[in-house]
Chain A
Amino acid sequence: MAKATSMDTHLTTPEALPLEENAFGLRWWLAVIISAALVIALFAALFYTALTGIGVWGNNIPFVWGFDLANYGWWIGMANGSALFACLLILWRAPMRLAISRWAEALALAAAICAALFPVFHLGKAWLSYWMVPYPAHTGLWPQPMSPLTWDFWSIFAYLLTIASLWYIGLIPDLAMLRDRARACLKQRIYGLFALGWTGSSRQWALQQHCHRLLALSVIPFLIVMQSIVALELAVTLVPDWHDTGLPVRFVVSGFASGLALAYFFAGLMQSILPEMIDVDDDILDQIGVFTLGAVYLSMFVVGLTALLEWLAPPDSSNSLTEWTSGSGAVLTWSSLFLSKVVPQLLWFRKIRRNRYAAIGISAAIASGIWLDHLSTIILGLAHGHMETAGNLYAPSIIELIILIGTLALCLLIMLIFARLLPLIAIYAANEKQIYNQGERLP
């Protein structure tokens, strides 16, 4: 039965605390410096675009959208996948949640921040993006609610705040712990401020746990809505290849695959950069790998179904299947399928799943495959309008490439700073695990 609890058990693993300076060695600094430099380049590129004009990108008529919307949809998918993962861990109280749910939430938040850059900076007049907000303007005008872009504004606004709340509610007890452990007065006050006076009373615990789960529940509909709205921005238009009710489903499931791949990638990466900081062992890598493979299969099913329906459709309605598989942009389609559907088959092998470098490589392949899927949806769709077949005449400019790479760096930088300032894993949950391991489940 119950083993005696030793008096001096130090439940909190000091490695998990972001206070220890020595935990952040050269590798952390190197990662921060590189990603910060790229983030500076990102903002330089964004402001250059805003000051000069969208013309510095490769867009034109009819390719009014390109990298901007592809990146946006992709980041939303990543945010969704990570958030789905985090929410399932919280709601199902899965065994590995304590290790991952915190940073999966943070990852979802970081990805959503990266995504949110695009709807603002892709505007011809980015500085007027606040016109999407319904505020009583002197013109008396309001946003136009029939537009999918208005839906998009609302959903990303709501999503960012909801996912941030989820993350914060989960973080409060750990902030209190940091407050209690802090020696420097200023540090104590700052953590104390954000801990809101958390005492750790049983009432607070009960409510916090419940609230955390409720918030996780409220995030679930977003996972469908967010990516669907991105897809609807395309699907509600008259562009023949986009005008497809299946598009939201395809985007949602491919988003899950890429989001889980992001989590898998991050787990592998953090294990390489900051192994002390994160409680990721090979078993967890293994499990995320299985999840990822499952999401890939879900996505394969939907893509296969879409292709089948296209193939069965009357041949004159739209030749998008032929266009996509043998047209000028077929290389996009095929490389997307290879990267996001064929490469992940390696995850069938346990040994590969448990290898952190394989995790990094395979998940990068999945994510870039899904990105190509977004890009080809936009470009190949626009290439084939009602009046014209423009061919593939869109090519991204160097500015667009900088922006894409910059958002990746931004996501990483957010995570690195997060690791430095706040616990990457839920400490209280880790302690709880230790209690469980030492004793039996409490009544």
Chain B
Amino acid sequence: MKALFVAEYTDAKAVSHAQDKLHGIGVDFEIYSATPLHLAKAHRRPKRWLSWIMAASVMIGAALSIATQYWTAQISYPLQIGGRGVGWPAYIPSAIALAMFWGALGAMIAFFGFAKLPRLHNPIFDAEAYPRIPGGAILIAVECKDDNAEQAIAFLKSQDGLQSTEFLQAEQNG
């Protein structure tokens, strides 16, 4: 059983300020908005991971592509093709294309993993303020699980530009 405290803002600057403060307090919180907010220092680690995973996928894709070409042409069903032996240079163009495809695929899957997508229902959808996000509302949701949360809620309530607040009782499965 966990609960969410949701605070609604419209001023991105206030949100930015709140974010710094909440980080200082040390609570689990999340900011929801209709546009990317370009918040400093946020989420650097998963972003770096995303890059590395993509780089690895590119390498794996290239290796796999070359290996597949070699195996099909030379091991599984060798044929005499125009007196040529192994056509290593000829394997390169497909390898480039497939490496890039694997890279894109890897990055996309990693993105889904880190962003916890797809997840068709999310507790935040139940927030009364949620439909106002496309209209420019920015929500800060704090997980109420320890004392720090109370401190955070107190801070948010005192912030300038606060539009509304609400508590969400999240379902176990939500």
Query: Bound pair: A and B?
Result: yes
Residues in A lying within 8 Å of B, measured CB to CB: 2, 5, 7, 9-12, 134, 140-146, 148, 150-151, 154-155, 157-159, 161-162, 165-166, 169, 172-173, 177, 180-181, 192-193, 196-211, 214-215, 218-219, 221-222, 225-226, 228-229, 232, 428-429, 431-432, 435, 439, 441-443
Give which listed residue, A200, A232, A435, contacts B32 with CB less than 8 A.
A200
Q: Name the prevailing secondary structure of the A interface residues.
A: helix
Could you say which residues of chain A place their CB within 8 Å of the CB of B77? 140-142
Q: How far is the CB of A240 from chain B (nearest CB, A)?
A: 19
Q: How far is the CB of A159 from chain B (nearest CB, A)?
A: 7
A199 close to B32 (CB less than 8 A)? yes
Give which listed residue, A196, A198, A218, A432, contacts B35 with CB less than 8 A.
A432
B11 within 8 A of A: yes
A146 close to B97 (CB less than 8 A)? no
* Interface set, chain B 23-60, CB cutoff 8 A to A: 30-40, 42-43, 46-47, 50-51, 54, 58
5 additional A-B residue pairs with CB within 8 Å, beyond A180-B130, A229-B93: A146-B87, A151-B93, A207-B50, A222-B100, A435-B12
In the bound complex, what is the Cα–Cα distance between A211 and B51 (angstroms)?
8
Could you say which residues of chain A place their CB within 8 Å of the CB of B10? 5, 7, 9
Could you say which residues of chain A place their CB within 8 Å of the CB of B82? 146
Please choose the segment from B67-75, B147-155, B165-173 that sits at the chain A interface, where 4 or more of its residues have CB less than 8 A away: B67-75
In the bound complex, what is the Cα–Cα distance between A157 and B13 (angstroms)?
45
B105 within 8 A of A: yes
Chain A residue nearest in CB terms to B58: A218
A165 close to B133 (CB less than 8 A)? no
Could you say which residues of chain B place their CB within 8 Å of the CB of A435? 12, 35
Chain B residue nearest in CB terms to A151: B93
Q: How far is the CB of A320 from chain B (nearest CB, A)?
A: 25
B13 close to A442 (CB less than 8 A)? yes
Q: How far is the CB of B160 from chain A (nearest CB, A)?
A: 11
Give which listed residue, B12, B34, B131, contacts A428 with CB less than 8 A.
B34
Q: How far is the CB of B104 from chain A (nearest CB, A)?
A: 4
Chain B residue nearest in CB terms to A426: B35
Give which listed residue, B11, B35, B73, B119, contacts A197 with CB less than 8 A.
B119
Chain A residue nearest in CB terms to B41: A443
A177 close to B134 (CB less than 8 A)? yes
A200 close to B120 (CB less than 8 A)? no
Give which listed residue, B35, B81, B108, B135, contacts A211 with CB less than 8 A.
B108
For A140, A202, A209, A232, which residue has the most chain B Cβ atoms within 10 angstroms?
Answer: A202
In the bound complex, what is the Cα–Cα distance between A154 and B38 (angstroms)?
37
In the bound complex, what is the Cα–Cα distance between A143 and B121 (angstroms)?
44
A144 close to B16 (CB less than 8 A)? no
Q: How far is the CB of A238 from chain B (nearest CB, A)?
A: 12
B36 close to A218 (CB less than 8 A)? no
Chain A residue nearest in CB terms to B120: A197
Known: A5-B10, A165-B104, A180-B131. A202 touches B31 (CB 8 A): yes
Q: How far is the CB of B32 from chain A (nearest CB, A)?
A: 5
Known: A221-B100, A428-B36. A207 touches B47 (CB 8 A): yes
In the bound complex, what is the Cα–Cα distance between A211 and B38 (angstroms)?
15
Give which listed residue, B110, B120, B133, contacts A180 with CB less than 8 A.
B133
Known: A154-B97, A432-B35. A218 touches B47 (CB 8 A): no
A218 close to B104 (CB less than 8 A)? yes
In the bound complex, what is the Cα–Cα distance between A10 and B135 (angstroms)?
5
B122 within 8 A of A: yes
Could you say which residues of chain B place their CB within 8 Å of the CB of A157? 97, 101
Q: Can you spell out 23 A-B residue pairs with CB atoms less than 8 angstroms apart?
A: A7-B10, A134-B68, A140-B77, A142-B77, A145-B69, A146-B84, A146-B87, A148-B93, A150-B94, A154-B65, A158-B97, A165-B108, A197-B121, A200-B32, A205-B37, A208-B115, A209-B36, A210-B50, A218-B100, A218-B103, A226-B97, A428-B34, A443-B38
Could you say which residues of chain A place their CB within 8 Å of the CB of B107? 211, 214-215, 218
